[in-house]
Structure 1
């Protein structure tokens, strides 16, 4: 079955089970969240070897009797990534790509992966990405992988690589993943979708609808690894002012931002081209709040999702919510001012793409 037909509108992000965004991620947390997510009809999970220990915790949870007794492997979509090992370490070599995939299969305790992405492709030379994609295509032919994709922040690089893949392998990438550019703060991804379609890409995953937690009342998340968020201080201040404005209007910035991203993704989708939203989840409360928010804007025609069919809004309710959101969104964009549309530097001046290493300090 083609990927646009099986990829759901909402995907559970596995970064919430990592040291980057959560303090002390653990097996009990992962099992509780996964059980509740599956109960609510959420049947797609995106993670990465880089989101340590996410793969391990998800594998333990998905192999627990509480889940295996109720769900078979073909009832959910499992996606992971290769290439990025640490904040300043990448390995796109054929040997490592293969090893990483086999390690992910072992960690996730599965016989196959629905999707494998090359992770944060703008940090490495493009020729290395092309070579890694070729390895993943081979592994797809061997039955270890169903679909192959690339991920990153820089849409210009993602689009260029998508065209190169089609030219060099005479087949397109199945999917691409981009983060924080289909949001209330930056809607740039929407302008690039036609180019992905020309390259034969049939699915786009839009992750970080809150721009890695920037668009919320409490500010950016800080996990065990400290404050890694790329937003400059000016954007952080503007986001806090926007959160205060939305709160004064009786709403919540995180909820507004999530509704915006989900509704935007659905408006850009078609039967043969799917745009989905990946939500980072860390707790059951967060899961339930986010899905309640999603219900406000997802159409009831997404019949494969039980919770949508059961709790989908009426047409009048959707129209009313859209009108309110448009007014609030306009106010947020006014407050963001010059920060609206701002792109995070990726990889930034401190990174040497050729060597895949930080630029040595001159001090």
Structure 2
């Protein structure tokens, strides 16, 4: 796909699964490195997973991905139009944001250099709930200018807060006389939290948005047998102890039934997104990947839901899983297990993390105390 094809609706281009670049960051991985990124990317591309979502905030993800994408092992086999790159602007660090027009433009140009590409398929404004909406609107205007200049193909926003995403989407449609192309929301189309489907999708569609990325299907590693991931920056996970406790109880139950909590949660998230997608409204799942083993496990799990062949480009095809019934036996078992998990979660089902918390001042884009605010969207 070339930059000249940007008039094609994004819903017709974005595949059902995307590789999350946060797995190459200090937040969720100890010592992210070039060798890790290259090996994961080579295997992902071989298996057909060629859409990547990252951010300047996921340091050093952009740098490592760019080194991998420019490596002869990749360039000798894949041209730029055979993979899809999404990144973000605005969030710099856990407590640092810059949505100024000059920085947004500088950040995009830096991402182009880091990723060794002449254009970016999608650029999101990152974690928009942490800054004043007027600054977000200004940043979107800059990104739309950069679409016209040929640096970007599609523009979106990302946030945990569904209400803020919907409000900004409506404002964009009104102020810029065109809709946002895409919205990204994290950890709210999961086995634990279904608020994206319940509260977000209808509002996004009404605002003209054609694509929604549901990221963190495991809620940043919460929905698995092991504890939450701890990278070089320590335990950043926003889940309170009560939620962690019931998730562990649910994971133990699922394991006792001979199933993996992580696999069940991933199947549930993908199946949910595909069931709500249409040819003109795509819901895609972003999977955090840190290793070849994790990549292969996740794709094997995804195949159980998408019911696609082993052809090398199956994930790149936007038709994968849209019109094919899932395996009924697997779906029946999963339905029973998911129901049991929901019973165990009890009042924690559909619990949402505060974002931002009471310790964050949106107007000043600063913490209001010495306590560090929760880090979001990985």
Q: Same fold (TM over 0.5)?
A: yes
Match of 1:119 in 2: 126
Distance change (3 Å), C-alpha of 1:11 and 1:256: same
CA apart distance, 1:146:
0.1
Take 2:181 and 2:115, find their aligned partners in 1: how far apart are those partners? 22
Structure number with higher relative contact order (C-alpha < 8 Å, ≥ 6 residues apart): 2
Does residue 161 in structure 1 map to residue 168 in structure 2?
A: yes
Match of 1:338 in 2: 347
Match of 1:199 in 2: 207
CA deviations on 1:101-132 (whole Å, 9 max, x unpaired) are 00000000000000000000000000100000
Distance change (3 Å), C-alpha of 1:307 and 1:277: closer
Match of 2:375 in 1: none
CA deviations on 1:303-334 (whole Å, 9 max, x unpaired) are 8943799x99xx89700000000000001011
Match of 1:224 in 2: 232
Does residue 172 in structure 1 map to residue 179 in structure 2?
A: yes
Taking structure 2 as the reference length, the TM-score comes to 0.92
Match of 1:98 in 2: 105
**Does the residue aligned with 2:213 lie in a helix, a strand or coil?**
strand
RMSD value over aligned CA atoms?
A: 1.8
- Which runs of no fewer than 5 residues in structure 1 stay unpaired? none
CA apart distance, 1:300:
3.1
Taking structure 1 as the reference length, the TM-score comes to 0.96
Does residue 256 in structure 1 map to residue 264 in structure 2?
A: yes
Take 1:56 and 1:186, find their aligned partners in 2: how far apart are those partners? 32
Q: How many residues align?
A: 359
Take 2:51 and 2:248, find their aligned partners in 1: how far apart are those partners? 31
Take 1:307 and 1:113, find their aligned partners in 2: how far apart are those partners? 20
Take 2:326 and 2:42, find their aligned partners in 1: how far apart are those partners? 30
**Does the residue aligned with 1:297 lie in a helix, a strand or coil?**
helix
Does residue 347 in structure 1 map to residue 344 in structure 2?
A: no
**Does the residue aligned with 1:149 lie in a helix, a strand or coil?**
strand
Q: 1:300–1:308: 8 Å Cα contact kept in structure 2?
A: no
Take 2:334 and 2:165, find their aligned partners in 1: how far apart are those partners? 30
Take 2:82 and 2:352, find their aligned partners in 1: how far apart are those partners? 37
Map 1:1-363; keep pairs closer than 5 Å. Answer: 1-191=8-198, 192-300=200-308, 305-306=313-314, 318-361=327-370
Take 2:64 and 2:103, find their aligned partners in 1: how far apart are those partners? 22
Q: 2:46–2:312: 8 Å Cα contact kept in structure 1?
A: no
**Does the residue aligned with 2:294 lie in a helix, a strand or coil?**
helix
Q: 1:208–1:280: 8 Å Cα contact kept in structure 2?
A: yes
Take 2:187 and 2:369, find their aligned partners in 1: how far apart are those partners? 29
CA deviations on 1:137-196 (whole Å, 9 max, x unpaired) are 000000000000000100000000000001000010000000000000000100221110
Take 2:313 and 2:282, find their aligned partners in 1: how far apart are those partners? 16
